[in-house]
Structure 1
């Protein structure tokens, strides 16, 4: 706009309803007075214009007149207001600068620098409050999400592995033909002899049931968690051989909890779990979800006598069938 006016010294564009400065005055290096008074300028938002004006203020004789413009005074325009304060000596008629606050109040800023400093303090306090509130909300949401994920961790895991499983489908509890196995036997490695020497001979060989035994029936090369969820889903019941080793084993407890999720989300809340206490364990050492099964009589203790064995295996058969 001003190219070719290198010798221009006074530029009077007052009373022109200007709302901002978006023109380039770098072509007027000899400019001494820029009169912008009596316009509608609330701030100079154009960064290039601000940079150019700042460079021109390197000349001690350069001055800007923003009088009788209603400047916008809030935290959003604080940078512009501080720019005025930092170059205060270059602003003409600065006693007549007006300021419009957020509450729409218009005030003449006779003590402009003091008011801007107070704005800076208020805005810093406001920014601190906003940051603290934002951080508080983020922490709350993070804690809430973490709490929900922890509360429903087994459901999330179950859904994840069932999604990966090619066997996933709803199975009614009374449909024996829809299951590959009568029961999945969940046990720790320390109880392998009990499973091999007693469970398999009695339940499979004598009773012609089909058991899923992880060391025998899991698919080689398949992820162990997927093997577990597939085994539970393909078995009518899950029998857990409860010992201290079982409670301390990650995968044993994984099998127990996946069977719980299977009961809730795939078997219409029909319980598929049955507990066999192979060792004496105090109730206080059991997880709460396991205690619920005990309270519902969905367990049996392994006996140490031959007569008790008859009752024991009869109860196990009844639980499976």
Structure 2
């Protein structure tokens, strides 16, 4: 085609592709073709700037357009995209600084138009006498489309053929948009209540999940703590906990500080001296500088048995009960359920004085 060509009419053909490089073309008519699939990802020109003033892409089965299809179209005054299948304006309009007429009639636009497109159209209207035709699109009156309907209300002066605008509510009632401001006000009230309901339901679900999580955390707190201390500094998280067939100590002695004299003067001499046993005693065998909880877990894990000297002081001691529960977890999860605990009642204790975890 000659470079001096100004008007080009390829309407009413069966074109499925179209590409030209005539920078001085003023009018391009591609009406009633089959360019929808092609133009969804490609442009119809290779020119970075064109002198096009009018473009007719109506009746082309267009569902979507390439984002940059109108880049460089600074002189375009009129674009006809009517009688297509567009559901949204997703293509970039920012280059169309001279645009005066955008025909989007007879499409499938329901109202879920991107905020960027709405803002761009509003800005373009300040630079030119822009008019937009949205007639014969079945707009939806729903909370999802509230922002678009608010935009229509604010920019109603840009729209033409407004007597052919209809709006469908969620109950399928269809009304003409002659009083769009009333429709928007009604929808704002409904959506406000709807939003409050959604927030309440969401908060309820989150609260339920938090309570359930806390309950599970409390239910398995000792198991989790045991697993944490047993894996720390020893195993990575993929190896898990493994039982050992050899032990550094014959027994771990768990007792309150009030019973120190009994342990030092009677238990240790008899079991280590007379019984030839090796005991783990926290005042003697714990590693200096290591956390006490880690020392406890390591000591229990390295001991064949755990002996608990039960007294009221023992029951009131946080670390004594920690040792008891860690020994219980060791028995369940590292010794295949083998009973490794010996409870010695050094004081007379009634069943009601004992916590449930010991009675179990």
Equivalent of 1:260, from 316, 323, 328?
328
1:104-146 Cα deviation digits (max 9, x unpaired) = 6654344433223222222222222222222111111111111
Q: Secondary structure of 2:252's match?
A: strand
Is this contact kept in 1: 2:141–2:167, CA < 8 A? yes
CA gap 1:240/1:165 in 2 versus in 1, 3 angstroms: farther
Aligned to 2:242: 169
Figure out how many residues of one structure are paired with residues of the other and give that number.
282
CA distance in 1, matches of 2:85, 2:278: 89
CA gap 1:55/1:208 in 2 versus in 1, 3 angstroms: closer
Structure 1: runs of 5+ lacking an equivalent = 173-177, 293-321
Q: Secondary structure of 2:243's match?
A: coil
Moved more, 146-155 or 44-53: 44-53
Is this contact kept in 2: 1:26–1:52, CA < 8 A? no
Aligned to 1:13: 80
Aligned to 2:105: 37
CA distance in 1, matches of 2:269, 2:117: 91
**Structure 2 residue 186 is the aligned partner of structure 1 residue 113:** no
CA distance in 1, matches of 2:137, 2:335: 74
**Structure 2 residue 275 is the aligned partner of structure 1 residue 207:** yes
CA distance in 1, matches of 2:234, 2:148: 64
**Structure 2 residue 229 is the aligned partner of structure 1 residue 229:** no
User: What TM-score results when the alignment is normalised by the length of structure 2?
Assistant: 0.68
Equivalent of 2:251, from 155, 180, 183?
183
CA distance in 2, matches of 1:40, 1:205: 93
Aligned to 1:157: 225
Q: Secondary structure of 1:221's match?
A: coil
User: What TM-score results when the alignment is normalised by the length of structure 1?
Assistant: 0.75
Structure 2: runs of 5+ lacking an equivalent = 1-51, 54-72, 236-240
Is this contact kept in 2: 1:165–1:230, CA < 8 A? no
Aligned to 1:147: 215
1:199-227 Cα deviation digits (max 9, x unpaired) = 01222212222221111122333332222
Aligned to 2:98: 28
Aligned to 2:338: 270
CA distance in 1, matches of 2:260, 2:186: 77
Alignment of structure 1 residues 79-94 onto 2, 5 Å? 79-94=147-162
**Structure 2 residue 134 is the aligned partner of structure 1 residue 66:** yes
Q: Could you say which structure has the higher helix fraction? A: 1
CA gap 1:24/1:196 in 2 versus in 1, 3 angstroms: closer
CA distance in 2, matches of 1:217, 1:59: 84
Aligned to 2:5: none
CA distance in 1, matches of 2:108, 2:242: 70
Structure 1 residue 28 displacement after superposition = 1.7
CA distance in 2, matches of 1:4, 1:204: 96
CA gap 1:69/1:222 in 2 versus in 1, 3 angstroms: same
1:163-186 Cα deviation digits (max 9, x unpaired) = 2365963257xxxxx333222111
CA distance in 2, matches of 1:36, 1:243: 86
**RMSD (Å), alpha carbons:** 3.0
CA distance in 2, matches of 1:195, 1:113: 86
Is this contact kept in 1: 2:98–2:127, CA < 8 A? no
CA gap 1:261/1:63 in 2 versus in 1, 3 angstroms: same
